[in-house]
């Protein structure tokens, strides 16, 4: 077995402390990503890849990286990686869940309050001079107390949202693919997806993007919702059929949407969702706090360093491959 340090490809700049950790376990090539001319050459010999979860990792890339043992992504999502191919190749795919739950849950509650009190419309009314000109203000908002919040996905982030919803007097119901997801959460009720959609005043999505969750919000499911209901999405853009949502918003099928993620990011300038007065869109800021991004970076580095040094990583999407991934090749 070779005793020299393995090679690694690192797709973003690291602070000094993190760089020292990485370079203690590998010979690192720091590179901008697929647009960099040295990207392919670097991956040809790399045993580890530390990168943003916005970088596509298809089968072809893994074919071009025959020594790859770990893909450590900066972010909780891993739909950028062909997991089946990575698992077949014995490549550990790591992500950074948990450390961003609080930030995403905080944003979700903020989005719900923004929708209920029409904060965006009222701020625009002032900023655009309507108040100063004595024009009629936007319509009244609505109280959260007594309303039903439906959570699609009741994992770490869904539970963090439920916890924050309690002081507002919201009734919380949830749909999750795992029947025991709500164990210990007796004040939150499990229900079928269609039941959740029909009952909820606010529907908030907190799922990974998988084949099962792709377009879980569609024309069919939107038609089940109350005309006064709002959709909140801080998970992944493609869990919503965006053209169907735009149509539902334009036609009053539902009252509004607050979105931190879109099917295509960044969106085209003429994307219909950007022009609708009842759609509020943010540029994917769910984890965008100084503290959360630092914690995400620390975890992504810890995952990378662990596998590269033959140790079990703190987080791994496909742990069944670890026995193979921890061995040099």
Residues designated as active site: 236, 265, 284
Contact between residue 201 and residue 147 where contact means Cβ atoms under 8 Å apart: yes
Q: Extract the tokens encoding 291.
A: 């503290």
Residues 49, 65 contacting (CB under 8 angstroms): yes
> What are residue 57's DSSP bridge partners?
81
Nearest 5°: CA angle at 218, between 144 and 283? 65
Rg (the chain; Cα; Å) = 22
User: Containing H/E element for 152?
Assistant: strand 148-152
Kindly state the greatest CA–CA separation across the chain: 79
Give the pair of three-digit tokens for residue 243.
């053209």
Strand partners, 93: 71
**Coil, strand or helix at 23:** helix
> Is residue 43 a contact partner of residue 61, using CB atoms and an 8 Å limit?
yes
The Cα–Cα gap between 168 and 243 comes to 32
């Amino acid at each position: 077995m070779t005793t020299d340090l393995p090679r690694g490809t690192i797709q973003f700049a690291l602070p000094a402390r993190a760089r020292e950790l990485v370079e203690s376990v590998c010979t690192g090539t720091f590179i901008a990503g697929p647009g960099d001319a040295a990207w392919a050459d670097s991956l040809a010999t790399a045993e580890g890849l530390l990168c943003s979860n916005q970088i596509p990792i298809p089968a072809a890339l893994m074919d071009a990286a025959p020594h790859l043992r770990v893909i450590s992504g900066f972010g909780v999502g891993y739909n950028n990686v062909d997991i089946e191919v990575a698992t077949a190749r014995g490549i550990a795919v790591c992500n950074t869940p948990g450390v961003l739950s609080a930030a995403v849950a905080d944003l979700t509650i903020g989005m719900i309050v923004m929708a209920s009190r029409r904060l965006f419309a009222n701020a625009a009314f002032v900023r655009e001079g309507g108040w100063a000109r004595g024009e009629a203000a936007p319509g009244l908002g609505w109280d959260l107390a007594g309303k039903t919040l439906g959570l699609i996905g009741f994992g770490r982030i869904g539970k963090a949202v439920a916890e924050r919803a309690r002081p507002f007097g919201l009734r919380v119901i949830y749909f999750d693919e795992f029947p025991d997801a709500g164990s210990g959460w007796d004040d939150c009720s499990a229900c079928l997806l269609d039941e959740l959609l029909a009952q909820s005043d606010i529907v908030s999505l907190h799922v990974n993007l998988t084949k099962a969750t792709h377009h879980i919000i569609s024309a069919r499911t939107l038609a089940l919702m109350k005309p006064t209901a709002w959709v909140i999405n801080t998970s992944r853009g493609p869990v919503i059929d965006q053209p169907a949502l735009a149509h539902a918003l334009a036609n009053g099928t539902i009252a509004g949407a607050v979105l931190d993620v879109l099917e295509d990011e960044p969106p085209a300038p003429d994307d219909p969702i950007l022009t609708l007065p009842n759609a509020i869109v943010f540029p994917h800021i769910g984890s965008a706090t100084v503290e959360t991004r630092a914690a995400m970076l620390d975890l992504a580095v810890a995952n990378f360093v662990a596998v590269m040094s033959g140790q079990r990583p703190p987080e791994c999407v496909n742990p069944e491959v670890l026995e193979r991934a921890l061995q040099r090749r």
